[in-house]
Amino acid sequence: MNARLRKLYDDLSDTFWLIPALLVLLGSVAAFGMIEVDRSGAVPAWLLENWLYNGGATGARTLLGAVASSTIGVAGTVFSITIAALSLAAGQMGPRLLRNFTRDRGNQITLGIFLGTFCYALIVLRSVRTAEEGAFVPHLALGVGVGLAFVCVATLVYFVDHMAGRINVDTVIGLVGDDVRRMMRSLAAEGPQPAPPPTAHWRDAEAICEQREGYLQHLDESGLAAWACEQQTEIRLLVRPGDYVFPGAPIALMLPPREGAEEAIRNATALAPNLTSSNDLRFAIRQLVEVAVRALSPGINDPHTAISVLNRLGAVLCEMQQIRLQSGVWVMQGRGVLVVPHVQYDELVDAMLHMIRQNAAGKPSVLIGILMVLTHVASVERDPPRLSSLRRHAGLAMQDGERDIPSPDDLADLRRHYEAFIDVVEHGPLARFRH
């Protein structure tokens, strides 16, 4: 149940309409409130004479009509232009990154302010009465409406500046890189991690199949571990957030079998039709990699963007030096009750570098960029298994260069960077500065 509630919260947080709807509701409530204050006669005379609109009903209707028509017109024009800009950005950076624009709070608040002002002006407009209709002009409500019109002007200036920065590829890379860091920190282990049981341990386990279909978006690990502890059983999940669950395929192993396991796993998991990055570190990494791969395509041919992505990924690996990843084993009452497949260092490095290297064939600048990033990471990371993973990727980049780079000078430059990487791995971070 916790997984479903978290999925609902994430879905609402990512929707584009929620904040605009709340601001429209706020504008409507404020309009009714201001009208009631005007009807009560609580507006001070000095405020009415010096600061508020004190004209007749005809002028009030004209003013409110101008505010309403201009705000809805500007909102439609601005967001039409935005869709065109996002279409161009999607072609360069990938359609999956459009989600970062739709969930952007600046875009949502901008639309909400325009639509909220529009609704406010309409509601106040319907309360204005001429002398023949009963002579009522809500001066305070009208003054607030004029103030909201100036707020819309300021919001429009902010929105243009905001969107100009958000469609910049370096800004997008930085925002996705921040998401990667946030999710990486959430995977940090506290204290020593128990090792998962060997594969032979699950030889006699019973497979639990899932009839649903979709991407695993949320997993309530603590709730499922508590159920397994209560039932005196052990569960090994075969999927993790970000994996696709196929109908009829095994989703977990259980030893010994217990009644109600299917329902317990169903309550602890929440599936979604689309892949999201809210809990999947690999997906956030793939978003960055997609930007680099598109930049390396013949139609764009922008190695600088690919190198910028490599720098961000290298910074994440350097920060990971202080982090030990979770093993995915839940221990309760002195025994392991749940094993969840968690992402490991080798897998993260593979996800970061494989596709970029494969699409950088014949591009010495990108292959050299990979070696330079790996050299910086190796100067920070001194854990032998992790260094072995970095060394493997450096060797792959060197092999690709020897196969695809025709220029002897470019190949010699690539070899120099590879030798500098090896020196750092074998002799420490200052080795490359001793030559």
DSSP assignments along 104-151, one per residue = -HHHHHHHHHHHHHHHHHHHHHHH-B-GGGT-B--HHHHHHHHHHHHH
Percentage of the chain beyond pLDDT 70 is 89
Say whether both 328 and 234 belong to one domain: no
The CA angle 354-218-13, to the nearest 5 degrees, is 100
Per-residue pLDDT, 382: 85
**Residue 133 in this model has a pLDDT that exceeds 80:** no
Q: Are 244 and 214 in contact (CB under 8 A)?
A: yes
The one-letter amino acid code at 20 reads P
Say whether both 32 and 108 belong to one domain: yes
Angstrom distance (rounded) from CA 375 to CA 428: 10
Per-residue pLDDT, 312: 92
Per-residue pLDDT, 390: 94
**Residue 270 in this model has a pLDDT that exceeds 90:** no
| pTM beyond 0.95, yes or no | no
Say whether both 297 and 390 belong to one domain: yes
Q: How many CB atoms are closer than 10 A to CB 114?
A: 29
Say whether both 30 and 152 belong to one domain: yes
Say whether both 248 and 297 belong to one domain: no
Of 92-96, 299-303, 368-372, 400-404, the poorest mean pLDDT is in 92-96
Say whether both 325 and 423 belong to one domain: yes
The one-letter amino acid code at 235 reads I
Which candidate, 416, 343, 348, 355, places its Cα nearest to that of 377? 348
**Residue 434 in this model has a pLDDT that exceeds 70:** no
**Residue 50 in this model has a pLDDT that exceeds 70:** no
Peptide bond into 256 cis (omega under 30): yes
Last residue of a domain, one of 219, 240, 272: 272
**Residue 362 in this model has a pLDDT that exceeds 80:** yes
Partners of 253 in the β-ladder? 207, 236
* SS3 label, residue 24: helix
* SS3 label, residue 325: strand
Q: Which domain does 318 fall in, by range? A: 183-188+281-333+343-433
**Residue 102 in this model has a pLDDT that exceeds 90:** no
Which candidate, 435, 366, 430, 432, places its Cα nearest to that of 397? 366
Q: What total number of domains does the chain contain?
A: 3
Could you tell me if residue 78 is inside a domain?
yes
Say whether both 231 and 318 belong to one domain: no
Q: How many CB atoms are closer than 10 A to CB 168?
A: 12
Say whether both 385 and 353 belong to one domain: yes
